[in-house]
Chain A
Amino acid sequence: SQQGEEDPQALSIQEGENATMNCSYKTSINNLQWYRQNSGRGLVHLILIRSNEREKHSGRLRVTLDTSKKSSSLLITASRAADTASYFCATERLTGANNLFFGTGTRLTVIP
């Protein structure tokens, strides 16, 4: 069963605009991670936020985590055409082995 659900399923924006993707999950977690997948490629890790953190930044990425609402958001600022990809949230539950449970993804298209 999927742990997370991303919203929206697809997002199309103009280059230079900000893109926000949301992720909701069901069970208590150790951490939440965001990954990016270009078409036909493997996933690439973007950022990890631990359950005791509320916000984290990495370059043009800003991630928030609200454990009371079991939700997270990924903000990409000043988007570029090269940001076009699918973005997945993944949660690590408390059960160990660092297993990740992935959401269904948001397909982002940045129009030049």
Chain B
Amino acid sequence: NAGVTQTPKFRVLKTGQSMTLLCAQDMNHEYMYWYRQDPGMGLRLIHYSVGEGTTAKGEVPDGYNVSRLKKQNFLLGLESAAPSQTSVYFCASSYGGILSYEQYFGPGTRLTVT
């Protein structure tokens, strides 16, 4: 099993450009999450999904959109990138449900917006 994979690993964007980050998991998890990690800030939740076809806002959703068309994939889109979106982005997945489970993280995507 590959676990959680993220594409691409690195990307440099100019202000105003758009891009999509892809997250894929092969563990049949229901829940998927997108976080950003900035120096000294820990991880902050951008958007999440509790199942195929569903999405919801997290702590810092502004400037991002997401889609979960297939259970195994969770896409994060930046429509018009800004320097403030320079960060490391992590995708995670979990079984979800009434009981709490740990989250499995991908290796991250380092995004720089100039």
Top 7 A-B pairs ranked by shortest CB distance? Answer: A45-B102, A42-B105, A102-B42, A102-B43, A43-B105, A104-B42, A42-B107
CB-CB under 8 A from B42, the residues of chain A are 2, 4, 88, 102-105
Alpha-carbon gap, A48 to B48, bound state (A)? 20
User: Could you say which of B11-19, B63-71, B93-101 contacts chain A?
Assistant: B93-101
Given contacts A42-B4, A43-B43, 9 further A-B contacts (CB under 8 A): A30-B100, A48-B102, A88-B42, A97-B50, A97-B96, A100-B45, A102-B35, A102-B43, A103-B42
Measured as residues with beta carbon below 8 angstroms from the partner, the interface class of chain A is 20 to 34
The A/B interface has a contact count, at CB < 8 Å, of 67
Measured as residues with beta carbon below 8 angstroms from the partner, the interface class of chain B is 20 to 34
Question: What secondary structure prevails in chain A residues at the interface with B?
Answer: strand
Q: Flag if B31 contacts A100 (CB, 8 Å).
A: no
In this assembly, does A62 line the interface, its C-beta being within 8 Å of a C-beta of chain B? no
* B101, closest chain A residue (CB): A98
Interface residues of A (CB under 8 A from B): 1-2, 4, 30-31, 33, 35, 40-45, 48, 50, 88, 90, 92, 97-105
Alpha-carbon gap, A97 to B35, bound state (A)? 15
Q: How far is the CB of A51 from chain B (nearest CB, A)?
A: 10
25 A-B Cβ contacts within 8 A? A4-B42, A35-B105, A41-B108, A42-B90, A42-B106, A43-B43, A43-B90, A43-B105, A48-B101, A48-B102, A50-B100, A97-B48, A97-B96, A98-B31, A98-B96, A98-B100, A99-B45, A99-B48, A100-B33, A102-B35, A102-B42, A102-B43, A102-B44, A103-B42, A104-B41
